[in-house]
Amino acid sequence: MKKVFTIFTLIILIFGIMGCEKAKNPLLEEWDTPYSTPPFDRIQADDFKPAIIEAMNMHKKEIEKIIKDKTEPTFENSIVRLDNSGEKLNEIVLILSNLIEANYNDTLEQVAQEVFPLLSKHNDEILLNDKLFEKIKFLYEKINNLGLNDEQKRTLELYYRDFVRAGALLNDSDKQKLKDINQRLSVLTLNFGMNVQKDNNNNVLIIDNKDDLNGMPESLIATGEKIANERNMPGKWVYTTDKAVMIPFLQYCPNRELRKKLYDMYLMRGDNDNENDNKNLIKEILNLRLQKANLLGYKTYADYVLEDRMAKNPMNVYNLLDQIWSPSIAKATLERDEMQKIIYNEGDTFKLQYYDWWYYAEKIRNKQYALDENNLKPYFSLNVVRDAVFTLSNKLYGITFKKLDNISVYNPDVEVYEVIDNDGSHLAILYLDYYTRNNKQGGAWTTSFRDQYHKDNKNITPLVSVVCNFPQPVGDNPSLLSMDEVETFFHEFGHALQGFFSDVTYKRLSGYVPRDFVELPSQILEHWAFEPQMLKLYAKHYKTGELIPDSLIEKITNSKYFNQGFAKTEFLAASYLDMDYHILTEVNDLDVRAFEQASMDKIGLIPEIKPRYRSTYFNHIFSGGYSAGYYCYLWSEVLDCDAYHAFIESGDIFNKDVANKFRQTILAPGGKKDAEQMYLDFRGKEPDIKYLLEDLGFI
């Protein structure tokens, strides 16, 4: 139900008999909570708008103070004050953004619709403020004569660059155009994500004939029953297009027609010509992004975005994609042919279709590697995998985790831990939000409620949050994870480690690394997930506590290259699509469906594989921050495969010295240095792509 909210809605509480006082907005208070964590138990959706407006005013006053200071600009009176400003606003916006993604409701959505344009405007008013920029420019022009240390110089440089990239050098009328574009984009990108979520929630596969369940494993039937009950459809079986539900369905439902139905619903999200359709939004978003890039002096939006990344320009991105494309599509074609053979051998005559891939891939896994994922899952219950990442973090870095029950959470599913450093000191707070819910966006991500930095010479410790979409426990059984999901947990935990270990003085540097570098900390952790040595440390059967047998470990190792052609091909297809959109110099006549098809035809994608994301639900690029950036995972993969080799070369995958060097050179510095330099500091040489190709089994 939608709730109408106005700024004038204030809750009045009566205090005693002396009179009345406005209830305090919990978002605006100094939180008297353990580790100053957000008091979720007291925060209502209605609190956000007034709190954000108030916090924006506070921020404006802080900026005005900097501007009105008539003394000559110094690093302290300008940059440090700018860096410290807007703290409360930042805190509140982080909470709102995180809730919108992980635990939204109609009121929050309404609030976000109203405040995101205000925030975009507010942000632009600061970044396009001439007087403020004058001070930064004054300092930047004599950066080497100010007696600054390296970290201070870097902070000044980054602020200068932020202002320039935001349009500080433009004339007034162009500045205004830019402000309008940014505001409109903030709404469009928010709507894009909400549309996907709505189609996702509304379009589900309902089975009411028991015969249709024939041949499906018990667990899959139980999932359908559980979702049906949650949706008040007792006696039926319901399957959603959430990947945690859909992928097992595609793997194990023998009925081709039903597989097609569900997968088509997934593929058509945002493309149903209904009120949630995203095609026009895509056009408008791309058009505005192009206009923005042109205003700022760039030929395309990709040029604008990539300047700030390790890749530097579109050509370098395409070069990398092209290098991996040929071996990927070649491998995927072989995989397809193998599956077609199975179909013929089973006496069928049909041609493999896109909705058959998962089903026959499972057969290959069974036949070629004698590996049935259903036999594996009992060794990967959620708690076991969580403890595994804790154990790995401890073996590498000596850190420990202590469960806390006194921290307020936004959903009862969420667990909280204190992260304790190897010297016993407090390092961070970790929130773990595991399960798929119908008020959570799909996928998995790591975020924060507060980043690490120094304030008044005091270290502010981070609040890090890992959000996943793992299957909910069914009945007495715990959530059992697939190999993909285990890898996802390790991945996200790698991001979390970067959050814990951040060691910077200025907020501007906190967690700031280029997007094509940021997947290095996360993806490197995936390398440990299925290492035999690691499996022997953690993979225990949830019922018997028995350790995973050597025979299963061997099968896991043997199946390392299973389906890799498919995995890389679907990923690359989405990466090309993203880049193709963002190198456009003309968007007006764009026909989204036709463009997508042409883009896929150009690279020669086979019809049995769809891009990992089709345009109309490609949240990464139209709602999240990965525009002209989906390639980043691959760019980082070159780095993480090379970096993991440092552990292998040392003869010990748990080598503490290598880990410590990784912590100091890669995880801790944040934005203190250029990413290229950070990598050289760790490895002493440039990354070699051969380790990635080896890892994929392509050479």
Which residues have a catalytic role annotated? Answer: 492
Q: Supply the minimum distance, in Å, between the C-beta of residue 624 and Zn ion.
A: 11
What would the DSSP string read from start to end of 444-508?
Answer: -EEEEEE--EEETTEEEPPEEEEEEEEPPPBTTBPPB--HHHHHHHHHHHHHHHHHHH---SSGG
Q: Supply the minimum distance, in Å, between the C-beta of residue 247 and Zn ion.
A: 19
Q: Which stretch binds Zn ion (CB under 5 A): 106-114, 147-155, 518-526, 640-648?
A: 518-526
> How many residues belong to the site for Zn ion (CB under 5 A)?
2
- 190, containing H or E segment: helix 172-202
| Residue with Cβ nearer Zn ion (303 or 519) | 519
| Residue with Cβ nearer Zn ion (205 or 317) | 317
| Residue with Cβ nearer Zn ion (335 or 519) | 519
Q: Supply the minimum distance, in Å, between the C-beta of residue 207 and Zn ion.
A: 34
Residue whose C-beta lies closest to Zn ion: 522
Q: Which stretch binds Zn ion (CB under 5 A): 231-239, 511-519, 585-593, 658-666?
A: 511-519
| Residue with Cβ nearer Zn ion (47 or 519) | 519
d(CA 59, CA 54) in angstroms, rounded, equals 9
Q: Can residue 522 be called a binding residue for Zn ion (CB under 5 A)?
A: yes
The neighbour count for residue 236, using CB atoms within 10 Å, is 17
Q: Supply the minimum distance, in Å, between the C-beta of residue 695 and Zn ion.
A: 17
Residue 415, Cβ density class (10 Å: 0-12 exposed, 13-18 middle, ≥19 buried): middle
Q: Which stretch binds Zn ion (CB under 5 A): 36-44, 182-190, 277-285, 513-521?
A: 513-521
- 402, containing H or E segment: strand 400-404
Q: Can residue 393 be called a binding residue for Zn ion (CB under 5 A)?
A: no
Give the contact letters, 172-211, x = binds to Zn ion (CB under 5 A), - = no: ----------------------------------------
Q: Supply the minimum distance, in Å, between the C-beta of residue 491 and Zn ion.
A: 6
- Token output for 162: 């932020």
The DSSP letter of residue 667 is: I
Beta strand spans in 232-313 (E):
237-239
Q: Supply the minimum distance, in Å, between the C-beta of residue 496 and Zn ion.
A: 10
- Dihedral of CA atoms 245, 248, 249, 250 in degrees, nearest 10, equals 120
Q: Can residue 300 be called a binding residue for Zn ion (CB under 5 A)?
A: no
Give the contact letters, 468-507, x = binds to Zn ion (CB under 5 A), - = no: ----------------------------------------
The DSSP letter of residue 347 is: T
Q: Scan residues 654-683 and list those touching Zn ion (CB under 5 A).
A: none
| Residue with Cβ nearer Zn ion (352 or 632) | 632
Q: What is the largest CA-CA distance in the chain?
A: 86
| Residue with Cβ nearer Zn ion (98 or 522) | 522
Q: Supply the minimum distance, in Å, between the C-beta of residue 101 and Zn ion.
A: 14
- Dihedral of CA atoms 23, 25, 29, 32 in degrees, nearest 10, equals 70
| Residue with Cβ nearer Zn ion (224 or 629) | 629
Is the sign of the CA dihedral 501, 505, 511, 514 positive or negative? negative
| Residue with Cβ nearer Zn ion (167 or 499) | 499
Look-up: residue for tokens 């041609």? Answer: 351
Contact indicator for 396, 656 with CB cutoff of 8 Å: yes
Q: Which stretch binds Zn ion (CB under 5 A): 193-201, 505-513, 520-528, 679-687?
A: 520-528
d(CA 327, CA 337) in angstroms, rounded, equals 16
Rg (CA), the chain: 26
Residues that bind Zn ion (CB under 5 A): 519, 522
